[in-house]
Structure 1
Amino acid sequence: MSRPVRAPRAFCASALLLCSLPLMAEEATEGLLEGSSLQLINRNFYFNRDFRSRGDGVFNPQRQSYREEWAQGFQGFFSSGYTAGTLGVGIDAHALLGLKLDSGGGTSGTNLLPLDSQRRAEDDFSAAGAALKLRAFDTELKLGDLFPITPVFQRGDGRLLPQSFRGVSLSNTSIDGLILQGGHLHAARNKASSNHDGEMSTEYGGTAYRSASYLGGEYAFADGTALSLYQARFEDVWTQRYLSLAHTFAFDGGHALDLGGNYYRTRDQGSARAGKIATDSWSTYARLRTGAHSLMLAYQRIDGDQPFDYLGDGDSIYLANSVLYSDFNSPNERSWQIRYDFELAAWGLPGLSFMARYLRGSGIDNSEVDSTGAYAYYATLGDGGKHWERDFQLKYVVQSGPAKNLSWVVQQTTHRANSAQSDGDVDQVRIITQYPVDVF
């Protein structure tokens, strides 16, 4: 049974604040049907992950050394316009379907497909939902099934079908360049699930919680500077604050330099169901872009005796060294990255791009991890942890014609770690074909 939405006082006050901002827009005139849209997304996903001879790790408690699955997903997203008048009413709806193309009892578990009690992949799974939306000038309220995207609470979309949540969200765009967002969620449907009333949990600790709230915003300055500030509260688990600052320096001749940094401050909250948490996590990066080439250097630190943790099955980790396999987020870890991108349009192949990167993490210290808390696994690993990851990606996007925006992506990852690092030795390959179609 669904739990009723119980918005905390802080969120209610924040909602009133957003609604009280200057309302400068004119009344909506688009109409319920005239302003509607329908997008279909076809996604084909092949995933091969080999844990080599070491079948353990925080994400592999079953000690299954090899996983390989292939699946087809269909996603449909309908968004209506708004009824005319000062207060516009509309609806967002979605329908999702996942089909197994290949998976065996000994190779399941890539999170493309749900598993039965014997850890065998289901032949298919589906989900559907909707959200009521209300708009007054530049403020929009949604109630129902949501796909939030913020640095502190973001739905996951790294597998066949996207994750969704149930609750209420509020956004405001009254000021040019400023986006304000708030939300209160009470149930989850994870990426490989049909259950809309699933329990929410954390990614690394697996700690369940009843509700989560977030509030924040981002502002784009006219000079190329971007600032983001958010806060999230996972009930009886943690309070997490996020700050990011980025700036782009443009030079003559098509050259540009991007500089930026991200910071998370996580502290236990309420009854501290995951145990004591006092972690400061930050990263900084510099990216030089010149013509078809891009070179990035990044550095990341986890200052705390717990790993940096985030929304379970989600993507709310904006640290620079969170990549295809590892997040480089172990207790007290320091890591760096070098990345190179090349747009092959310079060679007469528009739409084709290549990426290569290498990351190394070290200084992992698990000595102060609580051996009875949610992160007790780390306490068994000892100190001196280190690891590295190497990623390659080749992507092609059709540029024109009936198949415009059809894309193919091939990703290959190699990860190696010593016995004091939690992710283990992994080789993985992902091949993703995606075709989005805007029906209207």
Structure 2
Amino acid sequence: MKFDKVHLLALAIAAATGSQLATASQADSKGFIEDSSLNFLTRNLFWNHDRTNGAHNNREWGQGFRLDYVSGYTQGTVGFGVDASAYGLVKLDGGRGYAGRAGVLVPDTEGATDNAGSVGAAVKVRVSNTELKYGNNLRPYNPVFAPADARLVPGTATGFWLTSSELEGLTAEAGHMTAAKDFNSTNGDDNFYAAYSGKSSDTVDFLGGAYVINDQVSVSLYGAEYADIWRQYYVNANYTYPINDEQSLNFDFNIYKTDDEGKKLAGDIDTTAYSLAAAYTIGAHTFKLSYQKNDGDTPFDYLGMGPGTYHDSIYLANSSQLVDFNGPNEQSVGVFYNLDFASYGVPGLTFGVRYISGWDIDGSKMDASSPYNYYGSKNSEEHWERDFDIKYVVQNGAAKDLSVRLRQATHRIGNGASDSSSDQVRLIIEYPYEIF
């Protein structure tokens, strides 16, 4: 079905008034002040990325701060409110030629600024279980538009965001986004990007939602248009089979279809990317196998909110810390293991490891003028990635909810020129504090 931006937003409004994403009911409103909250988050992030082929290394360390105020709604049939946020970061280390490339700090002509900050706000209105927001600090998170929160401060967007949950089990949302602020920027007027091509769009529209059929089965469907770049569609089906109180099987299927749109700023695009994952959980242990395939002569691409940055709008099973295994015609398989130490007397401690191997990357059929042509003419590129992740969250006491997380990833290229072999370490320390 072909649709333009006006038709998309109109359809979204119509759909959402009969559907959303866990929006509370206006009938339960206690008032603008009575239902308000103020939360403070500090995040310390050290990021070290070493490349083995002589390319630039990335090493940055900073301290981030976030203050989020969320008002309640005025009482009555129609409720009104406001949300506001303040973001700040301080450079702790990032000199000697390493700063400004990891996306942790805000770059300047000398590498990275010593400190930076920004503010944002949104007005909101609610009727029944349907909510509409307009502002410049919106943070939707869905398969086709998901600003990342993996650096010191999150990416945010300007625009309209509609959410609704009128029918039990059915959640829906729609958005018309007109400007972006990246996680390493204080400029709220940036464009949106097709991350792998580097081409930008000034408008993104999306529409979609999820339906929980029962405790075991859920499905979701989304569509998005990045103006003059692509139209993208997404479907997910998730099924959990409970074997007994200690064991279960889960099957998760994701598929994206992406076609070029309008002026085709990123060139010809016709990709179908999908993944299937099967997970077996027994007590504290989860074992998962996954298969992923991109059927198309360009890579599967997704949201960027600044030049050279990548956000979270990729729900494929093998998307990983360093690479996404989404090259043209690429296939990949993954093996995952996760352990929750609560069963062994250490609640709050979790551990994960995964290994993913990709092959058959073939950029030889790509148009020579494509912005993706850095894949070159090789038709058998291979690579692999291995990740470790350990996290501990303090369970009680004065430091309750303080978390420490260590992530390490290794990526190696077997043959090919589209990426580099590299090693990365991230150390993240967070402390959330509820002021009221």
Q: Shift in Å at residue 161 of structure 1?
A: 0.8
What aligned pairs does 1:9-408 form with structure 2 within 5 A after superposition? 9-19=7-17, 27-55=27-55, 64=56, 66-108=57-99, 109-118=101-110, 120-145=111-136, 146-312=138-304, 313-378=310-375, 380=376, 382-408=378-404
Question: 2: distance between equivalents of 1:358 and 1:18?
Answer: 40
Q: Shift in Å at residue 7 of structure 1?
A: 6.0
Question: 1: distance between equivalents of 2:29 and 2:352?
Answer: 45
Structure 2 unaligned blocks of 5 or more: 305-309
Q: Shift in Å at residue 226 of structure 1?
A: 1.2
Q: Shift in Å at residue 345 of structure 1?
A: 2.3
Q: Shift in Å at residue 202 of structure 1?
A: 1.2
Task: Tell me the residue number matched to 2:427.
Answer: 431
Question: 2: distance between equivalents of 1:134 and 1:28?
Answer: 14
Q: Is the 8 A contact 1:268 1:277 kept in 2?
A: yes
Q: Tell me the SS of whatever aligns to 2:303.
A: coil
Q: Shift in Å at residue 21 of structure 1?
A: 6.0
Give the TM-score, by structure 1 length.
Answer: 0.93
- The answer to whether the aligner puts 1:8 opposite 2:3 as a matched pair is no
Q: Tell me the SS of whatever aligns to 1:8.
A: helix
Question: 2: distance between equivalents of 1:105 and 1:174?
Answer: 55
Q: Is the 8 A contact 2:8 2:207 kept in 1?
A: no
Q: Tell me the SS of whatever aligns to 1:96.
A: strand
Q: Shift in Å at residue 419 of structure 1?
A: 3.9
Q: Tell me the SS of whatever aligns to 2:276.
A: strand
Q: Out of 310-319 and 414-423, give the one that drifted further.
A: 414-423
Question: 2: distance between equivalents of 1:283 and 1:96?
Answer: 36
Question: 1: distance between equivalents of 2:156 and 2:350?
Answer: 30
Question: 2: distance between equivalents of 1:75 and 1:245?
Answer: 35
Q: Deviations over 1:357-401 (max 9, x none)?
A: 1000001111111221221212x2522100000001111011122
Give the TM-score, by structure 2 length.
Answer: 0.94
Q: Is the 8 A contact 2:331 2:361 kept in 1?
A: yes
Q: Is the 8 A contact 2:362 2:377 kept in 1?
A: no
Q: Shift in Å at residue 217 of structure 1?
A: 0.5
Task: Tell me the residue number matched to 2:413.
Answer: 417
Q: Shift in Å at residue 40 of structure 1?
A: 1.0
Q: Is the 8 A contact 2:394 2:402 kept in 1?
A: yes
Q: From the superposition, tell whether residues 390 and 130 of structure 1 become closer, same or farther in structure 2 (CA, over 3 Å).
A: same
What is the RMSD of the two structures over their aligned residues, measured on CA atoms? 1.8
Question: 2: distance between equivalents of 1:46 and 1:78?
Answer: 27
Question: 2: distance between equivalents of 1:350 and 1:110?
Answer: 32
Question: 2: distance between equivalents of 1:370 and 1:439?
Answer: 55
Q: Tell me the SS of whatever aligns to 1:16.
A: helix
Structure 1 unaligned blocks of 5 or more: 1-5, 56-63
Q: Deviations over 1:111-159 (max 9, x none)?
A: 10111124x1111111100000000011100001211111001111111
Q: Tell me the SS of whatever aligns to 2:10.
A: helix
Q: Is the 8 A contact 2:37 2:435 kept in 1?
A: yes
Q: Tell me the SS of whatever aligns to 2:343.
A: helix
